[in-house]
A and B are shown apart, each in its own frame.
Chain A
C-alpha cells in the first residue's frame, strides 16, 4: 500500500477538495495503482542529469520580454461579469473566519 486513507484526506485538504467517504476510498485505490507505476522511475539512473523544467530554445537575452508599454485593463465591469457574487466593485465571499 503506497498511500493510506489518511494521506488521501491530507492531500485532498492541501488541494482544497471536499471528498465524500466513497470518493476517498476510490481515490485511495486509484492513486495507489498509479503511484506504484510511477515508482518505476527509481529504476532509471539520473545522477548528474539536469532537471528539465520547460522546453528551451537558443534565443537572445531579451527574447521573452515585451516593450513596457501601458495598456488599459479590461475594467472592473468585465472583470466582475463572471463573478458568482459581486457588488460595489468587489467579489463577495463568505466570511474568512466564523465568528
Chain B
C-alpha cells in the first residue's frame, strides 16, 4: 500500500483483488498522514473513528457482493471550512477552535455515500480568507516541494495533503482562487466547478455569490470522479443548479483535435519569466495536440481586483456577523454588557486579515459609499461576465496562467495586503463569472517549484474542460 501513489482506480483494484481491505487502507492512511504532518502542518485534526467506520462499511459491502461506491475506500481530506458532524471544524480560526458541528455538509455526505473515507480536516486561511495559508490561527502550512515556502491559499492544507500523498483526494473551497492557486503552487490538480454545480450547504460562508466547493487530486481523472460524486441539485442549497451531472470520467476520450482555445492577452503581462516560459511550453503542447490557440481579449481584466475585493469583502462582512460570542464556542472573558461582548469577542477572536476584510466590506456597504463602491462593482461584474460569454462565442475554452509567480517564501508578502490581493488577478475573474475553471500541473521552475496552467470553460461545460486537461496531462504538460 503505497499511499502517495494511489489513485481512485488503484484503490478499487486493490480492494477487489484483496490486496488490502478498506480498514487496512484507512489505518495505514491515518498512520502515514500523522507521521508526515509535522513537515507541512497540512492537517488540523484526524477523524480516526469516522474513517474506520466508513472503511468497515465498505468492507462489509464488498463481502456481501454489493457495490461499495464510486470512491470506495478512498482516503479523503476535507478543508476545515466544511462542516463535519461530530468532528471539530475550526475554519482556521480561534473563534471556532472548539466548535463541533451538529451536521454534515452535503458534499461530505455524498462523498461518504460513494464509499470515501474521511481521514481528517485540513488547515486553511482563516474563514478561507487568504492566498498563502499564513492566516490560519493554527500555524501556516508548508509547501511539500519547498518547506520555506507557502503552499498557496486558502486551501493550502488540502493541496499539501494531496501533493504529499497523505490523502488520495481532497475537498477545498474557492471564492477567489483558493482551490486553483494552491493546486498550482503544490503541483496538483484543483477544480473550481460552475457556481451552483456543488451544493454549498455546510460550506462556512465567506462570500455567498462567489463560494464554491471543489476537488483536489493528483490527476485529472480522480478530480473528475470526485466532482461527479458531489455535484448535483441539493434542496438544502437554493443556489444549487438542476443541471444533470455527466459521467465526467467516461468522457475523457482524448478527442481535443480542433478544439479552439483562447489565450487572454491581458493575462500575460505580469508573469515572472519562468512562469511565462512554462505557460508558453504548455501552449506548445496544446498546439501539438491539435488545438487551435488564438489570442483573445478580456478587456475588463484591469478592474477585476477592485471589483472582486469590493464584492467579496461586502458579502464577507455580512456572513461573518454571526460570530458574536453568543452561539459558537468562543466568547471574550472580559465583557460586561452585550455590546461589549460582541466587540471584544470579535476583536480578540478574528485574525488581522479577517478584520481587514470585514472593515473593507462594512465601509463599501455603508451609507454614502454604497453606490460608489458596491453598486459600481456589481456593474463591473456584469462586464467581466460579459467578457467571458463574448470569448466563448469565439473559442471552446480559455487557457491562462493561474498565478503570476510560483510559491513565494513564508512571510514574504504577509505585511503587504495589497500585493497579496494583486496576486489573485488570474483566478478571481472565473469566480466573478461563475464559470468552471481548473489548474493542471504545467511543469516546474529550475528551483523545483510547480507551476499550474488554468483552463476555463462555459457554465456547466466541465466535461470539455476535463477532456482538455486530461489530454494535456497525458501529453506530458509543459515537459512535452
Q: What residues make up the interface of A, taking CB atoms closer than 8 Å to B?
A: 3, 7-8, 11-12, 14-19, 23, 26-27, 30-31, 33-35, 37-44, 46, 49-55, 57, 59, 63-67, 74, 78-79, 81-85, 91, 93-98
Contacts and interface: CB of A to CB of B under 8 A. Distances in A.
Contact of A66 (B235, B306, B309, B347): B235
A31 B239 contact: no
Q: Which label, helix, strand, loop or mixed, suits the secondary structure of the A interface?
A: loop
A37 B306 contact: yes
A33 B418 contact: yes
Interface in B239-271: 239, 241-243
B392 interface: no
Given A40-B306, A96-B337, A96-B338, A63 B359 contact: no
Question: Looking at B344, B355, B434, which has the most chain A CB atoms within 10 Å of its CB?
Answer: B355
A82 B208 CA distance: 24
Contact of A52 (B330, B340, B346, B378): B378
A14 B381 contact: no
A33 to B, nearest CB: 5
B57 to A, nearest CB: 24
A84 B376 CA distance: 40
B303 A40 contact: yes
A38 B373 contact: yes
Contact of B382 (A49, A79, A95): A49
Given A16-B324, A23-B355, A34 B382 contact: no
Contacts of B383: 44, 46, 49
B336 to A, nearest CB: 6
B363 A17 contact: no
A17 B346 contact: yes
B408 to A, nearest CB: 19
Across the A-B interface, give the 7 residue pairs with the lowest CB-CB distance, nearest first.
A55-B434, A18-B347, A51-B378, A66-B235, A84-B331, A46-B379, A18-B343
A54 B239 contact: yes
Contacts of B99: 82
A66 to B, nearest CB: 4
Nearest to B363: A11
Contact of B379 (A30, A37, A49): A49
B102 A74 contact: yes
13 contacts: A15-B362, A16-B343, A17-B347, A44-B380, A51-B379, A54-B209, A55-B196, A59-B242, A67-B235, A83-B329, A84-B325, A84-B331, A93-B341
Nearest to B195: A55
B380 A41 contact: yes
Interface string B314-356: 0001000100111111110001111111111011101010011
Contact of B358 (A15, A37, A50, A63): A15
B356 A98 contact: no
Question: Looking at A19, A46, A95, which has the most chain B CB atoms within 10 Å of its CB?
Answer: A46
Interface in B355-390: 355-356, 358-360, 362-364, 366, 373, 375-383, 385
Given A38-B306, A55-B195, 4 more contacts: A54-B209, A55-B385, A82-B327, A98-B337
A40 B208 CA distance: 25
A8 B381 CA distance: 27
B300 interface: yes
A17 B359 contact: yes
Given A57-B241, A96-B338, A37 B385 contact: no
A95 B421 contact: no
A31 B363 CA distance: 10
A79 B101 CA distance: 9
A95 B338 CA distance: 6
Nearest to A96: B338
Given A31-B360, A93-B341, A17 B355 contact: yes
B469 interface: no
A81 to B, nearest CB: 7
B307 interface: yes
Nearest to A75: B102
A82 B88 CA distance: 11
B133 to A, nearest CB: 20
A21 B213 CA distance: 38
B131 to A, nearest CB: 14
B414 interface: no
